[in-house]
Amino acid sequence: MSPSCLLAVLPGPDMTSRVTAFRRAHGLQDAAAVSHVTVKARSGLDADLAWAGAARRVVAAFPPVALGIGGPRLFRNGTALYLQVASPDAVRLHLALLEALQPAQRFGYEGPQMTPHLSVALARRGLDLGALLLEARAAFGDLEQQPLTFTAHEVALMRKPGPGGVYQPVETWPLGKGDS
């Protein structure tokens, strides 16, 4: 499999440190090692970056994105442990990117039903996400009552070199003033 890309907003250093410490304490090593909130998954984001100009234009025209990071949850399909993210802005940015990029195929979770989230751990053989959720509730329980709110002013282009790799930011694009 070739390299893959996605577009995301990055949480601030405090949240990143908390998630990194939790992951380290539980020996988690997967593609979600760098904390991020995906606004466009990899469908249609080929490694040749032919799509990047159109995506940059959308980002440049879109206002800063307000987000609230809440408590931990598991996806119903069992693929990940994540922190909830409340952000109508992130969903609107996601939809604007889909409209501009028109990927030939989409993942089922793309579109208006997209669930913004910050992955903490991805499912893998031998990892009990249910037990890990209990640990995450202790570590991030404060976010249930008082979500961490912040405004993102840029979108990161993240790249994973291939299977077993980690998505890493390779560049950032500033969000605009909301001309969209």
The per-residue pLDDT string of the chain (180 residues; one tens digit each, 9 = 90 and over) reads 688 899 999 999 999 999 999 999 999 988 889 999 999 988 778 888 999 999 999 999 999 999 999 999 999 888 899 999 999 999 999 999 999 998 766 666 777 888 999 999 999 899 999 999 999 999 999 999 999 999 999 999 999 988 888 899 999 999 997 654
Q: Is residue 20 part of a domain?
A: yes
Q: How far apart are CA 45 and CA 162, in angstroms?
A: 14
Q: Which residue from 47, 49, 124 is spatially nearest to 81, judged by alpha carbons? A: 124
- Residues in Cβ contact with 152 at an 8 Å cutoff, skipping those fewer than 6 apart: 9, 10, 37, 64, 65, 67, 175
Q: Which domain holds residue 136?
A: 4-174
Q: Is residue 180 part of a domain?
A: no
Q: Is residue 179 part of a domain?
A: no
CATH code at position 45: 3.90.1140.10
Which helix (H) or strand (E) element contains residue 13?
helix 13-25
Query: How many structural domains compose the chain?
Result: 1
What is the 8-class DSSP label of residue 131? H
Please check whether residue 23 is in contact with residue 121, taking contact to mean a CB–CB distance below 8 angstroms. Answer: yes
- pTM, whole model, 2 decimals? 0.90
Helix (H, G, I), strand (E, B) or coil at 137: helix
Residue 162 is encoded by which pair of tokens?
Answer: 């291939």
Q: Is residue 42 part of a domain?
A: yes
Q: Is residue 161 part of a domain?
A: yes
Cα-based angle 70, 166, 36 (whole degrees, multiple of 5): 25
